[in-house]
Amino acid sequence: MPVAVTPEARQRGQWQMALERFRGHRPAVIGTFVLVVLALLAIGAPLISPYDPEKTQLLLIFERPSLSHPMGTDSLGRDLATRILYGGRVSLSIGVMAVAVAITLGTLVGMVAGFYGRWIDGLLMRFVDMMLSFPDLFLLILIGVLLKGMTVPVIVVVLGLLRWMRTSRLVRAQFLSLKEREFVEAARTVGADDLRIIFRHILPNSLAPIIVAATLGVAGAIITESTLSFLGLGIQPPTPTWGNMLKDATRDMERAPWTAIYPGLFIFLAVVSINFIGDGLRDALDPRHVIRTQRR
Amino acid sequence: MRRLIGAVPLLLAITAVLFGIMKSVPGGPLAIYEGTPGMTDEDMARLEHAFGLDQPLPIQYVSWLGRFLAGDWGYSIIQHQPVLGLIGERLPNTMLLMGTVFTVVLVLAIPIGTVTAVRQYSWFDHLVTGSTFAFLSTPTFWLGLLLIIVFGLQLRWLPLGGMRTAGVDFDLVDVLRHLILPVATIALVQLGGRVRYLRASMLDTIGQDYMRTARAKGLDERVVVMGHALKNAAIPLVTIIALDVPELFAGALVTEQIFGWPGMGRLLWDATTRNDYPILMGVLAVTSVLIVFANLLADVIYGYLDPRIRYS
Amino acid sequence: MSWKTFGNAAVVGALFAIVAAACAPSTPAAGTAAPSPAGSAAGAPVRGGTLVVAIWQEPANLMPSYQSQTVQSVVLDTVVEGLLRATPAGEYEPVLAKAVPTVTNGGVKVSADGKTMDVTYQLLPGIKWSDGEPVTSADVKFTWQAWMTDPKVGTREGYDQISSIDTPDDLTAVVHYKAIYGPYPTRFGRLLAKHALEKESDYSKSDYVRKPLGTGPFKVTQFNAGESFVVERNPYYRVAGKPYLDKIIFKSVPSSTVAIAQLKAGEVQAMWNIGEAETADVANDPNIAVVVTPSPYVERIEMNTAVNKDGTDANSVHPVLGDINVRRALIYATPKQQIIDKLLLGKAQVGRTVLSIGWAAPKDITQEGYDPKKANDLLDKAGWAKGSDGIRSKGGVRAALTISTTSGNAYREQLEQVLIDEYKQVGVDLKIQNYPSSVFLSGSWATGDQRKRGSYDLSLYNSAPDIDPQSIVNQRYHSKNIPSPANGGVGQNYTRVKNAEMDKAIDEAGASLDFELRKAAYAKALKILNDQAVIIWLSERTDLTAYRKNVQGQGPGNGWRNFAHNTEEWWLSK
């Protein structure tokens, strides 16, 4: 592979190497495959299923899985497979959007704190401490009640607000160490201003842990949403999410186990895939891992 | 030292904000009286006054703060018991549960993490990796329910919840039997994360340059691993563990709910759903203090153990 | 395939297999003969034994004057008694008093001017508190005083009608009421011990709050919050030889699902308040029987007839629900029987009115049944035309409504979703907006409770009248009890129904001591109420308790109290 001299070219070369490493990581590849399938199923829900996920059919309560209802029906006679598909839309998108909010916020804060240091760092980190000191669950409950129920935007924002701290610390650590490096010195001598240094030089090199954290964050967000719904605080019915389907199902576990198996299974599949992908990304993007792969 | 002093206004701010949010929430601790036949509005107004709920917010906050710092944590509006007493009842139970989880995770994570890092790609590593991924991808409450169904209902090996068998006074074996499932639920999920974390950091450090230097000096492999790798990999682990200390106090809310464990988590949940402000403020104040100090501790330890990070 | 993936697949597969195996429905034991009704005694009562009852809510405290939860009264029923109590038929019987004072037996004397009355109670001799001290009329007087002076008691209803109490001797108490108070037998249902409480400056901070004294068959020995509440045989109980049981442990469990599991496993022998739909879980178990008791609880949907503001305009009218045709159409559109059959497994009656059991329950009152065609016809004729989306509108107002109830209640959530569907069929768009019960039921004008403020459309909840219905009928359906800024938010007439005839009937019922007259007045008032079509009476609920077969002696339940009303009779067979 040709090795170029400019930082941009070096980065491009690095990305390509990373991709190669990722493709060699078996579980990550499988995880990607599964996740893509899940995403496609979720997006294509209206095309795949002929049923209405919210229409109640009192006569069809708790039907066992059959040809017309491959995953059976739930406590109100609704086709479970359809609800899983539509639920996937909500659960997956909440996960992704919440992380997007968290990453954006966390990166911004961490960037500023790590780059400028001194009292700005101190102030921002105090703020981070304060946010970290808030008991998550309690805040979620309060907000849910204050706003009279959680809608998707609310959950996304709230989950994002509760999770950006870890990213900010990561980014800050990266910036703290990277800002002393030679290439930053070099950029400064050439006359680059702060903004340019941050966004063109340091940030791209800090992306690796951010990406990994983001990926794993989606998994965490999905689990948090399901826990919230289990406590009755998440998205309210009749809109299906994998989380709130599990909540109802735990009550009906003995009578209709399929209502509990499938949502739980899909949460598990999504989260495991994402974790595999994250693991693969971590391996692929960490330059120090190059040593190990060569040793294999 | 400076940071310690800085923690005080932080805590004040946190408690004030929490108080404000709590009180903005509609409803109130007197909602449980709804449906009581004969309850009139004069009755409700009287109760509001008796519990000091009709005073302006800032006054309520300041008077709470004053009493809190003086040691009077108030009385639960719903249970009519002193908040300190209620916390005192539940805290040992939560500490028992979380302390056991803490110990189990610590004792298991280090050897397992170390072995998988040293023997990377062995069958043991793969087995552990597979299991850890599975467990940390499972929502805690889901795992708990599963365990209850399998071990409690189907196999009937273990009790179905609670801390003791009803009517039996404190019996170590009985409590241990009741501890198994809730501890397993939390520990398995946490262990998954910790083992992976430790493994990753150990792999990082093993591959570091200065490790090769140490090896080049001719030290025995095991010494190299234990002495250096572990110490350096321990840093992030210690940080994470330090951040978990507040959980010894607040407990695992969801797990305590599922298993009916009479601990702080349930106390907090009941108080939240019923807007029992005195309990909420008391528990949250302590939790916030613990979190702030845990963070402080983690940062200090981090700075001490890793001389490469300087503190401005 | 790398080892890693294999390991992972193995774990996933194992988990799945466990779940599948675990969830295979347990095959019912062979020979599922119809379980014999609990209580059909298999022999003579056996003395001794500990009964464990699973409760999936727990009492916050056990102070008789702070009662706010049903589960509190469950435990208190075993411990604290009063002068009189309710019978299953909704009448009264004496407990610590010798007889129920009435006008006929001279126990109640109305003054010459007909404005005040005196009620005289004769106490049974030789009754002792659970600490051995004697029960005297001073305790009756003290109970009234405590109720009136303690700022933290729940409701002072009735006690605030008492002007004074005389105690001519240790066993006689003469209660002077300052008005004609019909529900007088409901007062003094739990007595407080003077000798234990009088020395406390703040009752709410005493031990009495968790371990009250009483004259019941048991006394509280342990209050383990979050775990269990233990009551043991009261050595001073007035009936020799009873209770048979040594101890009852009320075990707190996290949910009804866990309670059922523990009941089936035999870890507990009884379960409080099993849900209708849950009875299916235990129906096939030959060791468990369910006792069904009609209760005074009626599940209903109230409709707000005033406009969605603070009701500042006394004549404000709800744009949609102000039209009686819409209200009646909604009643027609509600499939009450189907809901009961499918969601409550048939274990309830179709609702007709607020008084379902008891002496005042009107026998031949009805409400419209399920007839969506009639609903559609009614709305068509009333000028509500269907739009292109199937939803009706009239004069620019769209028939869109919101229904609210307590969140986290599975049956209610199912119910709401059924209604969304059904109401759509008749052209009404229904949305759900639920709240946690502490918000929905806060009942306070100051905190903006939506039922008080009139900022709701449809409100779904469950409630029961006291055994004497005056209080609830008056509070809920009398026009003077419509909460508004003008009257300081007082009253519980949430539907804001106004009918002069109904008001008159309610006042009549409240002013008389003649049960027959009152009964007729209630029947009249409630018929008018149904004509106003402001409430959909969904179902008359039942109390359901599940027991293991070895629990004997319960007999039929008492809907006015709860399943622990006669624990002195219970015993355990082998």
Cα distance from A215 to chain B (closest Cα, Å)? Answer: 13
Looking at this predicted complex, what is its ipTM?
Answer: 0.77
What is the DSSP code (8-state) at residue A150? B
Residue C91 is predicted with a pLDDT of 85
Find the mean pLDDT for residues A34-55.
Answer: 83
> Which chains are within 8 Å of C by 3+ CB pairs?
A, B
Question: Does the pLDDT value for residue C526 go beyond 80?
Answer: yes
Q: Is B25 on the interface with A (CB under 8 A)?
A: yes
**Using CA atoms, how far apart are residues C484 and B41, in angstroms rounded to an integer?**
12
What's the average model confidence in pLDDT over B241-263? 75
pLDDT tens-digit profile of B37-56? 566 667 777 777 777 777 77
Identify whether the C-beta of residue C249 lies closer than 8 Å to the C-beta of residue C91: no
Structure token digits, residue C564: 């622990």
Q: What is the C-alpha separation between C252 and C235, in angstroms, rounded?
A: 26
Nearest C-alpha in B relative to A264 = B142
Q: Which of A10-14, A167-171, B85-89, C510-514 has the lowest mean pLDDT?
A: A10-14
Residues of B in contact with A137 (CB under 8 A): 253
pLDDT for position C127: 93
Residue B48 tokens read as 């509001």
pLDDT number for residue A217: 86
pLDDT score, position C100: 92
Alpha helices in B119-230, H assignment, sequence order:
123-136, 140-147, 172-206, 209-216, 221-223
Say which residues have a Cβ less than 8 Å from residue A23's Cβ, sequence separation at least 6.
A29
CB contact under 8 A, C435 and A248: no
Distance CA B270, CA B257 (A): 10
Q: Give me the pLDDT at residue C500, please.
A: 94
What is the residue-averaged pLDDT of chain A?
77
Of the candidates A295, A260, B22, A172, the residue with the CA atom closest to the CA atom of residue C24? A260
Compute the nearest-CA separation of C112 from chain B (Å): 29
**pLDDT tens readout for residues A136-156:** 666 776 666 566 556 788 888
The partner residue sitting opposite C209, judged by closest CB among B32, B80, B263, is B80
- Please give the pLDDT value at position B248: 64
Q: What pLDDT is stored for residue B262 in this prediction?
A: 87
> Highest mean pLDDT range out of A140-144, A221-225, C132-136?
C132-136
From B153, which residue of chain C is nearest by alpha-carbon distance?
A: C261
What is the distance in angstroms between the CA of the first residue and the CA of the last residue of chain A?
20
Neighbours of C3 (CB within 10 A): 17
Nearest CB to B137; choose among A250, A272, A282 = A272
CA–CA separation, C370 and C351 (whole Å): 12
Chain B contacts of A126, Cβ < 8 Å? Answer: 6, 10
Return the C-alpha torsion angle A8, A14, A17, A18, nearest 10: -120
Mean pLDDT in residue range C259-264: 86
Mean of pLDDT values over A50-72 = 75
CA dist C415 and C338 (Å) reads 11
Q: What is the pLDDT of residue A10?
A: 59
Distance, CA of C536 to chain centre: 18
B80–C204 C-beta distance less than 8 A: yes
The per-residue pLDDT for C66 is 86
**Please, which pLDDT band fits residue A133 given cuts at 50, 70 and 90?**
low
- Which residues of chain B lie closer than 8 angstroms to C22, CB-CB? 146, 149-150, 153-154
Q: What is the pLDDT of residue B227?
A: 66
Of residues C242 and B306, the one with the higher pLDDT is: C242
Q: Which residue of C has its CA nearest to A74?
A: C414
Task: Report the alpha-carbon distance of residue B300 to residue B311 in Å, rounded.
Answer: 10
CA distances from A286 to A3, A22, A214, B230, C478 (A): 19, 11, 15, 20, 75
Burial (0-12, 13-18, 19+ Cβ within 10 Å), C112: exposed
Contact by Cβ (8 Å): A77, C342: no
**Which region among B73-87, C115-129, C493-507 has the lowest average model confidence (pLDDT)?**
B73-87
Residue (of B14, B186, B269) closest to A132 by Cα position: B14
For C227-254, the three-class secondary structure string (H helix, E strand, C coil) is CEEEEEECCCCCCCCCCCCCEEEEEECC
Q: How far is the C-alpha of C302 from the C-alpha of C308, rounded, in Å? A: 14
Residue burial C450-482, b: 16+ Cβ < 10 Å; e: rest: bbbbbbbbbbbbbbbbbbbbbbbbbbbbbbebb
- Give the whole-number percent of chain C exceeding pLDDT 70: 90
pTM equals 0.79
Residue among C125, C61, C124 nearest C98 (CA): C124
B197 touches B110 (CB < 8 A): no
How far is A290 from chain C, CA to nearest CA, in Å? 20
Residue B265 has pLDDT above 50, yes or no: yes
Distance from CA of C426 to the nearest CA of B (A): 32
Average pLDDT over residues A252-257: 72
- Contact A296/A289 with Cβ under 8 angstroms? no
Asked if pLDDT for residue A292 goes beyond 70, the answer is: no
Instruction: Report how far residue B198's alpha carbon sits from residue B178's, in angstroms, rounded to the nearest whole number.
Output: 30
Cβ-Cβ contacts under 8 Å, B30 against chain C: 442-444
Write out C385-446 in H/E/C secondary structure. Answer: EECCCCCEEECCEECEEEEECECCCHHHHHHHHHHHHHHHHCCCEEEECCECHHHHCCCCCC
- Tell me if C438 and B273 make a contact (CB, 8 A cut-off): yes
Least confident of A261-265, A277-281, B199-203, C64-68: B199-203
Q: Do B287 and A135 touch (CB under 8 A)?
A: yes
Q: Using the predicted structure, report yes or no on whether residue C16 has a pLDDT greater than 60.
A: no
Segments in B55-168 forming alpha helices (H): 57-69, 83-118, 123-136, 140-147
pLDDT at A12: 64
Q: What is the mean predicted confidence (pLDDT) over C119-124? A: 94
Subunits with 3+ Cβ pairs within 8 Å of B are A, C
Q: Give the H/E segment covering residue A16.
A: helix A7-24
- At C277, which helix (H) or strand (E)? none
- pLDDT recorded at residue A230: 76
Q: Are C190 and C178 in contact (CB under 8 A)?
A: no
Between the CA atoms of C553, C559, C560 and C566, what dihedral angle is there, to the nearest 10 degrees?
A: 10
Residue A248 with chain C: CB contacts under 8 Å: 410, 413
* Cα B286 to Cα A51, B99, B248, B250, B289, distances in angstroms: 51, 18, 12, 9, 5
Query: Is there a contact between C251 and B37 if contact means CB atoms under 8 Å apart?
Result: no
Kindly state the average pLDDT of the residues B94-103. 87
Residues 263-282 of B with CB under 8 A from A: 268, 272-273, 280
Contact between B210 and A295 under an 8 Å Cβ cutoff? The reply is: no
Task: Say if the Cβ atoms of C68 and B33 lie within 8 Å.
Answer: yes
Residues of B in contact with A138 (CB under 8 A): 18, 268, 272, 280, 284
> Which residues is B108 bridged to in the sheet?
none
A84 and A262 Cβ atoms separated by less than 8 Å: yes
Contacts of residues C258-262 at CB distance under 8 Å and 24 or more positions apart, as own/partner, are: C258/B148, C258/B160, C258/B161, C258/B260, C258/C54, C258/C56, C259/C54, C259/C55, C259/C56, C260/C546, C261/B148, C261/B152, C261/B153, C261/B160, C262/B160, C262/B161, C262/C54
Per-position DSSP letters for A57-124, written without gaps between them: -GGGTTPPP-SSSTT-B-TTS-BHHHHHHHHHHHHHHHHHHHHHHHHHHHHHHHHHHHHH-HHHHHHH
Longest dimension (CA), chain A: 77
Looking at residue B4, its pLDDT comes to 67
Task: Grade residue C2 by pLDDT with cuts at 50, 70 and 90.
Answer: very low
Asked if C463 has any chain B CB less than 8 Å from its own CB, the reply is yes
Q: How confident is the model at residue A291 (pLDDT cuts 50, 70, 90)?
A: very low
* Pairwise CA distance, residues A230 & C555, whole Å: 38
Lowest mean pLDDT among A72-86, A119-133, C224-238: A119-133
